[in-house]
Structure 1
């Protein structure tokens, strides 16, 4: 059997991305037992680190072992009982995902939608909340399918006014865009590592407010330290998943250390390093680096006679949608970028299938050389495919953005 041998890809799509080297190194750390004091101390440290990442004082801030979708499912399955009303504002693919997971929990799901490339005004969401009176509002912050960033800062106050639990999936946005759990009055947040946090998929940090914790703990009965699997609360339901049962996971991470699963130690070490990397560089510095890379990529794209997709006022810092120009075969361009230059850019799906590319600048790849290399390679492939552009204009425009920042 041959050893693993992967090509040196530069991942400039909507995620996953190339990991920070220190994150990869952390994943190779030797293991200890799951109840070794060293291991439990690192679990506690990770909880403290992610409170800073989420900008929260929430005691219940921990990791779900699984991809970012595992975090979404843990939050929704644990808090939703059959018949509970959920409101999901949809502005891209991942809103549809939240709705589907809620439906599988037998919730009564209500959706509102805006065209892909737009986001919601707070008034639209408040109007729907007034009409539906949901138990939970489930809202994506950054949706890579559309590259749009949904403003959240006014939504929490609306939810508190109507006694609605406010949950957001911030997988694609946290780290590269502002996120303020407590200031924005969020009750639950789940994310992944494979975007701006600069790690691999496989661990889902979550944070939960006290009122969210009260909600999910009401669905359990604990007597003499032993969970009664036959107990039903007043509504006659209990959490249908064992693996994604948040109260059980909280007891595993808490002082009791009640056995639930064997913590994915290598992913915990990895998640720790993602947080340390972010906090050592400084949250605002990392956001500014992502913003700079995103502005430079956008400037380069536009200088190459390419049109960006969506309302740029609400574009995420870390990804841009690019209309595929007339006369160019989009998948052929992506193939040549990958196989000739070892650069991956993203395709699209849903109503945007075959219409746009998605180019990311996130995590370890939110840096000048990666932006310039991608633009130069894309220019070469497009020029050879017959697209009309001014040679060198894209790279020059991006370099001008960086030069002005230094000046």
Structure 2
């Protein structure tokens, strides 16, 4: 066989719903030399990473760490570790990723109940409370930002509702953390997970997670007891998590002071995750969120300046992604292909009822900046013209520039 040459990806500006172009310092951190799993430097780096992510999540939770794997690994670890077979789980669904939470809970053998709103909308807190009263769940599993619809579900009232009714509160913040407001402690979260590949500005492959003391108690109550103590079929023995890799009780022991071996930490991903958090906190969490807000407002104004129609309830749109209706007569996939091949810019399509109906354009992480927004809008204008769609000359760039000038 003829061996391929070294990896040499093309230059891309990733302006879709994620993954995005990583911060250069994150890529640099990931090329740092490896050390042994119990080297003092490794132990110190893990502890530093935990403390950095407490700042990212806005929490004092001791149980703040990483799950090795993509953001879905964090979701699965949270759900399978918090939910026993037969537990009731309530999932409010307002996009594709609510369906994902429901599926994972079903695989954990939970009794899953869902409520739904039309894609492009979010739930009022009253609707969530009504469902909690009716279902009486053990766990509420709720996406914060769903990139399939671009909507940002308000969470600020939900924690108090869950506490009132004795319900554990978990949220998937994969698409929203770092670019939108998030207050783990103030909002009463028991568990939250995310990924690096959106607003945190890194590659997919590591999932930050934070757990409240209450959630840790549930996780610890499910630890597999020592070999030889549990008798087969003993109905009084504590049930244990059916996954070894995603057992948060074991992962907490690995990240905790005992450092009990569970797996080999993904060292380069640890370095990258640490740098994602360090970059965010060095700039300032509020400043990074504000940068995402301004970039999102500029992109929103820009696509409207091109005469495009925005999908969904814009009042509840995430800062970091916008969905626009594909104009009639414009072949959506071909236009996206032209953006990529001719301009090196990636924008996204969507899923389910929105597939082929909208493009999703992201402004997140390293790419939540003015030059990336303006370059994308200029390229989109050129592509729309190529496919015969009339647009105001320079309308997108001018509208976005006005947002930056007034910021």
Correspondent of 2:312 among 310, 319, 324 = 310
Residues 219 and 233, structure 1, Cα contact 8 Å, conserved in 2: no
Structure 1 residues 161-183: Cα deviation after superposition (integer angstroms, max 9, x where no partner)? 00000000001000000000000
Contact 1:67 1:192 in 2 (8 A): yes
CA distance in 2 between partners of 1:302 and 1:267 (Å): 38
- CA-to-aligned-CA distance 1:375-397 (integer Å, 9 cap, x gap): 00000010111111111111001
Partners of 1:281 and 1:228 in 2: how far apart? 51
Q: Residue 74 of structure 1 aligns with which residue?
A: 77
Q: Distance in 2 between matches of 1:193 and 1:235?
A: 38
Q: After the TM superposition, which residues 73-92 of structure 1 pair with which residues of structure 2 at under 5 Å, given as runs?
A: 73-92=76-95
Whether contact under 8 Å (2:224, 2:241) holds in the other structure is no
Counterpart residue number, 1:131: 134
Relative to structure 1, the CA distance from residue 328 to residue 58 in structure 2 (aligned partners, 3 Å threshold; closer, same or farther) is same
For 2:219, the equivalent position in structure 1 comes to: 216
| Contact 2:13–2:344 (Cα < 8 Å) also in 1 | yes
- 1:192 match: secondary structure: coil
Residue 85 of structure 2 aligns to a residue whose secondary structure is coil
When the two structures are aligned, how many residues end up with a matched partner?
403
Q: Summarize the Cα distance change of 1:326–1:254 in structure 2 as closer, same or farther, 3 Å threshold.
A: same
> Structure 2 CA distance, aligned partners of 1:55 and 1:229?
39
Secondary structure at 1:309 match in 2: coil
Alpha-carbon distance between aligned partners in 1 of 2:290 and 2:357, rounded to the nearest angstrom: 29
Q: 1:157 to 1:233 in 2, by over 3 A?
A: farther
RMSD of aligned alpha carbons: 1.3
Structure 1: distance between partners of 2:237 and 2:335: 55
TM-score by length of 1: 0.97
Q: Give the C-alpha shift of residue 349 in structure 1.
A: 1.2
Query: Where does residue 249 of structure 1 map in the other structure?
Result: 251
Given the alignment of the two structures, is residue 391 of structure 1 paired with residue 393 of structure 2, yes or no? yes
Out of 163, 168, 171, the position equivalent to 1:168 is: 171
Q: Which runs of 5+ in 2 are unaligned?
A: none
Instruction: State yes or no: 1:354 paired with 2:361.
Output: no
Query: Contact 1:221–1:227 (CA<8 Å) still a contact in 2?
Result: no
CA distance in structure 1 between the aligned counterparts of 2:103 and 2:361, rounded to whole angstroms: 27
Mapped to 1, the partners of 2:241 and 2:253 lie a distance apart of 15
Alignment of 1:366-377 (within 5 A): 366-377=368-379
Residue 237 of structure 1: CA displacement?
2.7
Q: Deviations over 1:246-280 (max 9, x none)?
A: 00000011111111000001000000000000000
Secondary structure (helix, strand or coil) at the match of 2:192 reads strand
The match for 2:284 is: 282
Residue in 1 aligned with 2:183? Answer: 180
Q: Which residue of 327, 345, 351 maps to 1:325? A: 327
Structure 2 CA distance for partners of 1:261 and 1:228, relative to 1, 3 Å: farther
TM-score by length of 2: 0.97
